[in-house]
Amino acid sequence: MKYWIKTPFLIPYLFSGFKWRFSPDSPTLYLTFDDGPSELVTESILTILKDAKVSATFFCIGKKVKKNQQLFEKIKAAGHSIGNHSMTHPNGWKVDKNYYLKDIQDATKLINSNLFRPPYGKINFKSIYALRKTFKIIMWDVVSGDFDMSLSAEKVIENVVKNARNGSVIVLHDNDKFKDLTLGSLGFIIKQLKVKGFKFEAIPFSPLK
């Protein structure tokens, strides 16, 4: 499995219309969770965040919101931000523009947010202009690797703690498949980054309607 833990400088430069990182002048980090809400992991993530007094951002999949409406409401009630991660998690490089935009629009009926993160980070290039009329496209600065079953929780922790810097947007997952790595690393990630002097905030969002 090939992926970048630290987003190379050239990528944000080429796609400067997307948000990869926030202000480098403040020791603030932005934890984000993709793919939920999920039955086996969301409650535990919310508990860890509550105990640590940390706010985060959840990029949710519409079909999972529909299935787990109470969990979705708990995310919002806890003061976390929400973002659109599509209705069915399509790979933007493998579907056409109309399909892609409709899938995202279907999700907006359930996820009322001006934040969007493309599934797999693979946005449909022909859709970018239309998407930017409605959404802030949020990417990332650091990938935890909590989806990589070849890693240990210790390695996931190291990936984040070693690479986080002022303004970093950090990707974790709210996904039943990866729950052991996510839950086994999240609390330690937060604790170690706090020791380094970082604080955490949710990415600000606005309702679309």
35 token code pair: 């793919």
* Residue 157 phi, psi (nearest 5): -60, -45
Query: 75-78 long-range contacts, Cβ below 8 Å, gap at least 24?
Result: 75/36, 75/37, 75/42, 75/46, 78/46, 78/49, 78/50
pTM: 0.97
Q: Which pLDDT tens digit goes with each residue over 142-172? A: 999 999 999 999 999 999 999 999 999 999 9
pLDDT score, position 41: 97
How many helices and strands, by DSSP H and E, does the chain display? 8, 8
The residue whose two tokens read 């980070």 is 121
Q: Per CATH, is 10-200 categorized as 3.40.1160.10?
A: no
Q: Is the pLDDT of residue 2 over 90?
A: no
Q: Which pLDDT tens digit goes with each residue over 187-199? A: 999 999 999 999 9
Q: Provide the phi-psi class of 89: left if phi over 0, else alpha when psi is between -120 and 50, else beta.
A: left
* Residue 88 phi, psi (nearest 5): -125, 10
> What positions carry a catalytic annotation?
34, 173
User: What is the SS3 assignment for 197?
Assistant: coil
Q: Which pLDDT tens digit goes with each residue over 67-125? A: 999 999 999 999 999 999 999 999 999 999 999 999 999 999 999 999 999 999 999 99
Contact 103, 86 (CB under 8 A): yes
Mean pLDDT, the chain, rounded, equals: 97
Q: Name the residue among 164, 170, 97, 163 with its Cα closest to residue 127.
A: 97
User: What is the SS3 assignment for 25?
Assistant: coil
Query: What one-character DSSP code corresponds to residue 19?
Result: B
